[in-house]
Amino acid sequence: MASSKYSSRSRKRRKRQKSLSLISSIVAIAALAIIVILAYRAVARSNHHTTNGTLTAAGVTIDQLCETVIPEGTPSQMLEYKAMRISFNPEMHIPNYVVWELTRDEANGDMPRSDDFRPDPDVKGCAQLSDYRGSGYQRGHMMPAADAKFDSEAMSESFLLTNMCPQVGALNHGAWKSLEEKCRNWADIDSAIIIVTGPILTDRITDYIGESQVAVPQRFFKVVLSPFSDPPRAIGFIMPNGKVPGGMQAAAVSVDEVEAATGYDFFSALPDDIENEIESQCKFHYWSTLKRE
């Protein structure tokens, strides 16, 4: 009887062990599944949910869309910062262009403005604070500080003088600022946009400031691509370095027109049919009436 009792207990113990082993296996599989799902979501977030089937199928990446081709022989030092990529012109002491992706979350950041204007000591030809002092021109951000309110490092880097051009106050606090605010609104609506902006250096430079002889542009451009809208769309802007007659809307042009003015090639990674279609359009009224779903 004792032997039978112990045998029964042994069988029950083995059953419990098997059950515990099965439960452990299920828990391990579930944990692995959760890890895979979280990893997938992290990748999706890093790609900013590339929802547009056309561009996804074409294998176009954000990095490729940020590539801008400038005329051969243009002085350029490529600078990689946390939130922006800059083609810096060491002879003009200003950027050729600044490009960045602005996502919905980034556009709605709440980090305070740092105002730590300074040169980048690692960049040859970078302007100095003294160049702007008493010049009559403001240190005009190309990537605005408000687009970097999601991260302290990005915020601080937005105040590097490699991201600045001499701007007349009427532009810096006028139509240029209005366009920057509009871009954040578009990023919030479309989940992410790509912005390329800078001076138009094909114009004759007639004014320089400071001991560094920082070039003062006569005009500025901005192009905006919404790659995840359906269909994708783009628009350009050209503004004089001063008061903009008619404001932001009057400055709207097609991306083709910006390319003609600058000699640059934007968004060349797009399939040719899409690039030709969206870069020929200037539909400011359509952009201005967009609303988040």
Just list the catalytic residues.
141
Give the whole-angstrom CA distance, residue 142 versus residue 249.
19
Asked whether the beta carbons of 68 and 99 are under 8 A apart, the reply is yes
Residue found by looking up tokens 């920082």 in the block = 214
Asked whether the beta carbons of 154 and 82 are under 8 A apart, the reply is yes
Asked whether the beta carbons of 98 and 142 are under 8 A apart, the reply is yes
For 52, 56, 190, 225, the CA distances from 49, given in Å and listed in that order, are: 9, 10, 11, 16
Q: Transcribe 154-205 into DSSP letters.
A: HHHHTTBGGGEEEE-HHHHTTHHHHHHHHHHHHHHHHSEEEEEEEE-TTSPP
Lateral strand order in the sheet of 77-80: 77-80, 85-89, 94-103, 192-199, 219-226, 233-240, 252-253
Q: Are strands 233-240 and 219-226 parallel, antiparallel or unpaired?
A: antiparallel
Identify how many contiguous H helices and E strands the chain contains and give both numbers. 12, 13
